[in-house]
Structure 1
Amino acid sequence: MKFSKTILALAVVSASWGAHADNLLSNGSFENGLTGWSVTGAGSNPLSVKSYGPNFYGETVLADNSTSLSPDAAGTHGVYFVDDIAKQTLTQSVTLTSSGMYSMGFSTYAPANGLNNSHNASFSAAIGSNTLFSTNISSLTGRTWQAQSGAVSLAAGTYNISFTFTPTGYPAKDIVIDRVYLLAAPVPEPETYAMLLAGLGLMGVVRRRKNKAA
């Protein structure tokens, strides 16, 4: 029971991050195409925004249903990285007016037809020089939306939010992303502080009891 209360306290703090914050990025769900974003690396299959349905080389992809912390509702479009040769990047610049902790996240979907391709592709997400997510697409669960996120301490200033897709050969695996967000950490309400401190206190009691038992 004590452990459960501690987990509850930490969960409340985590949940409040998404509940009270605004997305610092524009068009994070790509409902307005690539407005607000910059693209490099066209290739034979340029990075594009697709409407959900049977538009992914004949494969049906449904809207994002992951447990994302994005304050944006799931929409009807996502960005499709599908080239077999060209390295492609998707970038948006954002200016932070204050220093603090920031959470960046997005949702990923690996289509089955892409996972069946013989060559891998790497995919990463960064804010400035801080890489918050990096993976080979083959390691993602196929045909499943997955929420990805990371947190970093940043000083006030202008940063690029960037996604990089790098295929390793023809044909390469591909990926869809949606609901990109950047959130500033909220200032916890007094009740949240109290719950967190109570949880941490309980952790200390449990630790002391374990030490005595040992």
Structure 2
Amino acid sequence: MAHTLNLKHVVRGTVASVLLLGAQLASAQFLSNDVGAGSVIKLTSGSGPFNGTVTSGPSSGSTFESFCLEEYEYFSYGQSLYVKGVTNATTNAAGGHYGASTSDPLSFETAWLFTKYSQGAYGNTSTVKSDMQNAFWYLEGEKALSALSTKAKSYAAAAQTAVAGGYTGYGNVRVLNVFTNASYTSHAQDQLVMLAPVPEPETYAMLLAGLGLMGFVARRRKQQKTL
């Protein structure tokens, strides 16, 4: 009996871990990593960031949260926006605000700060989201430091400190290069998104092991009742 109970504990722990992973991805509004060229999205107001839905194409039906990366490029809420690519750089119109180029790599500071935000490190109130948006604009050269609130400055400073301390890379942070037309000639605000992490092979192995143990426990119970 004691041996069977230990198996139950393993099964419960395995299932709980997998459910927790799923809950974390859902709550963070991560975007399916299937999204790409040919995806069409629509964005609505999210009190700071945008709430997005992939309406057709790759990853259709996915919902996500995003921030814009160009302060002076525009679109309308509910408008169909066409994804040309998922990259680590914005594709701005030449001559944009603060000398934006046609291709502008995402800063490591922005990647670090968005990762922390997505992990819930700063909360998700409308004020936090608004300050985050302004901090991202500053870190991407779209906004002057003097235009930021004290809180937004603190977010930007934390990101700069992290990168100065050695942080590099993008993790699962990406840029949706979006346009207002299907021929990709009219730029919209490129979107800062977090792609859903692909589960490691160990996660799948743990899930399969848990399901196998559940079947084993069920058979043992059936055998015991038969006896």
> If the length of structure 1 is used for normalisation, what is the TM-score?
0.27
Larger % of helix: which?
A: 2
Structure of higher CA gyration radius: 2
> If the length of structure 2 is used for normalisation, what is the TM-score?
0.26
Q: Which has the higher contact order (CA 8 A, sep 6+)?
A: 1
